[in-house]
Chains A and B, each alone.
Chain A
Amino acid sequence: MSTTPAVPASTPQTEDTAPTKPRKLSRLEKRAIATKGRLTSPWASLTAVILAALWTIPTIGLLVTSFRPEIDIRRSGWWTVIPGIFTGETEFTLDNYDQALYGSDNLAEVFVNTFVITIPAVVIPITVALLAAYGFAWIEFPGRNLLFVAVFALQVVPIQVTLVPLLTNYNQWGMAGSFWSVWLSHSIFALPLAVFLLHNFMKDIPRSLVEAARVDGAGHVKIFFRVLFPLLVPAIAAFGIFQFLWVWNDLLVGLTFAAPEYRPLTVAIAEMAGSRGGDWHILTAGAFIAMIVPLIVFLLLQRYFVRGMLAGAVKG
């Protein structure tokens, strides 16, 4: 695309530096020199800035709008506040949040639902998957490879395939619509990927460590908790964040299994988008209420998330 004009700009710089300098440059220095020319090219920078703006401005628009009075939102675009900020004419308010949280939409309660759904739906699959990953990695038993491949293969099953039979089942057991059915469903759907990822991390731990513990007479449970668990904390954090974001942001499972009084934020917001399409003051505030927790978690723990994603994507 617009990288083309970058070529002439980078050429003179890189050619000068490489042969004339007597001192050997480090890896990083060489790369820095190589890229420097490219980014100082105005077209490349412009492309990067435009992309960054396209990816940021819509969210900023939502955020700004959610703090504007309802009447202003209906009358003018959110960008019109920008001159007003400097003159102090712009009016901001928390009314939209007040109305979204405690008004007829009662998102405060829905927020609690989302928490109640998410925490067990993260803890349960990770624990179950950790044990299974240990079993697949460090216990010899007949049919081990076949079963592991089967679990791995089930990752690709779209959850749509399972919804109707599961719902019928929950109805028969009298637990349809309850938190229990939502927790169980989320846990099941997370398992194949969780087992696969944690197994990959577990396989990376040196065999000698486990063998040494075994020689010392430690059983599997002891090896798992004393030797492996401490080493796996980063992996668990990575998948934990992954699963947290997945469950918190999920629409399909919540929509299918949760009764209206236990629905999560995504379901409530999606419903509001349908029923009160033009009420942007409520919609923007509601959307931001739904976004704030995953955004905080994500920004604080981004490093773990990226590591987990790379492990999953590159190996998977």
Chain B
Amino acid sequence: MDWLLNPDSATMKIVVMAIAIGLFVLVMSLILFLVDRPKRIPSWVVAIGFVGPALLLIAYGLLRPGLETLYNSFFNRNTTEFVGLANYEQMLTVGTFQKVLLVTAAWVILAPLLSTLIGLVYAVLVDRARFERIAKTLIFIPMAISMVGASIIWGFVYEFRPDQPGVEQIGLLNQVLVWLGLPPQQFLIGEPWNTGFLIAVMIWIQTGFAMTVLAAAIKAIPDDIVEAARLDGLHGLGMFRYITVPSIRPALVVVLTTIAMATLKAFDIVRTMTGGQFGTQIIANEFYTQAFRQNNQGLAAALAVVLFVLVIPIVAYNVRQMRRSEEIR
């Protein structure tokens, strides 16, 4: 049965895939067949048939490993010796790790704020405009592109060629600098701006999400409110400030928190564009480095736990705002 685990040609890979799907369908049908005896068996048995597979997978693949990681975070690099809070202490006191936390904070604050701001402005600008659909699709397309792909796209925009006669810039941004009469820059190397240029890629990806959700929220603002405000003499920026923004507040909170969480967990951009060098390292990528490169399991576990702990306040804020907006309703 080795070929099932190690298919060695494209055809065999597809065969294995078909077998996997077939096997899965078979197991699921069997479960359904067994629980489908109306009125003969108690409803909780039926419930197990329906809910059981999902709960089992979640317990095995999320809950158990999560707890194990939490446990491991109190141990040394080979998980052989209990070290208490030493891993966490190292994170908070050692300079390189403090910097990682600082850079991560820059990501989690700047990426959601700027993508939401740009998405909101764009949504307002193109709302009911002539080319609304196409205009929205253009901003939205980066969402379909992987972060790795986006990193290649922007890596090429940031590409640097030494400033010598006869050497032309092939990166668009440096060419723009040259056109403006400025010297070309190594955007991904100079601290601390390189982190800003990496965050720009994240903003480029996430703005489409913000724009779509906020545009839908703007369209859902009741007309009588807009009309009443207009009769009261509100226009343009005043309308935006006093009617649009307060009306879509719940959507704004959801967008901000969703992007903040996505940003916190994402490591693709940093890993692809700088590999975490030149002072651009973030927690998510440091976790990968410690877990699979440095093989420091204790520290890696602690980093993963910190990632989780940092998500909690964002979620809590989201839930609280949601409760508040439901009360108002």
Contacts of A218 in B (CB 8 A): 38
| Interface check B152, CB cutoff 8 A | yes
Which residues of B (114-130) have their CB < 8 Å from a CB of A? Answer: 117-118, 121-122, 124-130
Q: By the criterion CB–CB under 8 Å, are A48 and B122 in contact?
A: yes
Give the segment of B44-52, B80-88, B90-98 that binds chain A.
B44-52
Q: By the criterion CB–CB under 8 Å, are B65 and A162 in contact?
A: yes
| Interface check B162, CB cutoff 8 A | no
Q: By the criterion CB–CB under 8 Å, are B168 and A75 in contact?
A: yes
Q: Give 1 or 0 for each of B222-239: 1 = CB within 8 Å of chain A CB.
A: 010011001100011110
| Interface check B255, CB cutoff 8 A | yes
| Interface check B202, CB cutoff 8 A | no
Q: By the criterion CB–CB under 8 Å, are B272 and A249 in contact?
A: no
| Interface check B186, CB cutoff 8 A | no
- Bound CA span A280–B161, Å: 13
Which residues of A (139-175) have their CB < 8 Å from a CB of B? Answer: 139-142, 144, 147, 151, 154, 156-166, 169, 174-175
Using a CB–CB distance below 8 Å, which chain B residues touch chain A? 5-8, 10, 13-14, 16-17, 20-21, 24, 28, 32, 35-38, 43-44, 46-47, 49-51, 53-55, 57-58, 60-66, 68-70, 72, 117-118, 121-122, 124-130, 135, 137-149, 151-157, 159, 168-172, 175, 204, 207-209, 212-213, 216-217, 223, 226-227, 230-231, 235-238, 240, 250-251, 254-255, 258, 261, 264-265, 267-268, 271-273, 275, 284, 287-288, 291-292, 297, 300-301, 303-305, 307-308, 311-312, 315
Q: Please give me the residue from chain A that is nearest to B134 by CB atom.
A: A52
A-B contact pairs, 14 of them (CB 8 A): A7-B236, A52-B135, A109-B10, A127-B24, A135-B49, A139-B50, A156-B308, A158-B308, A160-B307, A163-B65, A165-B65, A219-B36, A274-B272, A302-B140
Majority DSSP secondary structure for residues of B touching A: helix
Q: Which of A77, A132, A158 lies at the interface centre, i.e. has the most chain B CB atoms within 10 A of its CB?
A: A158
Taking the nearest CB of chain B, how far is it from the CB of A297, in angstroms?
A: 8
Q: By the criterion CB–CB under 8 Å, are B207 and A269 in contact?
A: no
Q: By the criterion CB–CB under 8 Å, are B128 and A31 in contact?
A: yes
Contacts of B72 in A (CB 8 A): 164-165
| Interface check A212, CB cutoff 8 A | no
- Bound CA span A139–B44, Å: 8
Q: By the criterion CB–CB under 8 Å, are A217 and B38 in contact?
A: yes
Q: Please give me the residue from chain A that is nearest to B126 by CB atom.
A: A48
Known A-B contacts A3-B236, A220-B46; the reply to A266 vs B148 at CB < 8 A is yes
Q: Please give me the residue from chain A that is nearest to B213 by CB atom.
A: A313
Give the segment of A56-64, A87-95, A231-239 that binds chain B.
A56-64
- Bound CA span A183–B37, Å: 31
Contacts of B121 in A (CB 8 A): 1-3, 47, 51
Taking the nearest CB of chain B, how far is it from the CB of A26, in angstroms?
A: 10
Q: By the criterion CB–CB under 8 Å, are B128 and A160 in contact?
A: no
- Bound CA span A314–B257, Å: 12
Q: By the criterion CB–CB under 8 Å, are A77 and B271 in contact?
A: no
Q: Please give me the residue from chain B that is nearest to A272 by CB atom.
A: B152
- Bound CA span A192–B20, Å: 22
B156's contact among A27, A127, A163, A284, by CB below 8 Å, is which? A284
Contacts of A107 in B (CB 8 A): none
Q: Which of B13, B62, B288, B303 lies at the interface centre, i.e. has the most chain A CB atoms within 10 A of its CB?
A: B62
Known A-B contacts A134-B50, A139-B47, A314-B213; the reply to A291 vs B149 at CB < 8 A is yes
- Bound CA span A141–B70, Å: 31
- Bound CA span A294–B143, Å: 10
Contacts of A183 in B (CB 8 A): 20
Q: Please give me the residue from chain B that is nearest to A188 by CB atom.
A: B61
Q: By the criterion CB–CB under 8 Å, are B54 and A287 in contact?
A: no
| Interface check A85, CB cutoff 8 A | no
- Bound CA span A261–B255, Å: 38
Which residues of A (164-221) have their CB < 8 Å from a CB of B? Answer: 164-166, 169, 174-175, 178-180, 183-185, 187-189, 191-192, 195, 217-221
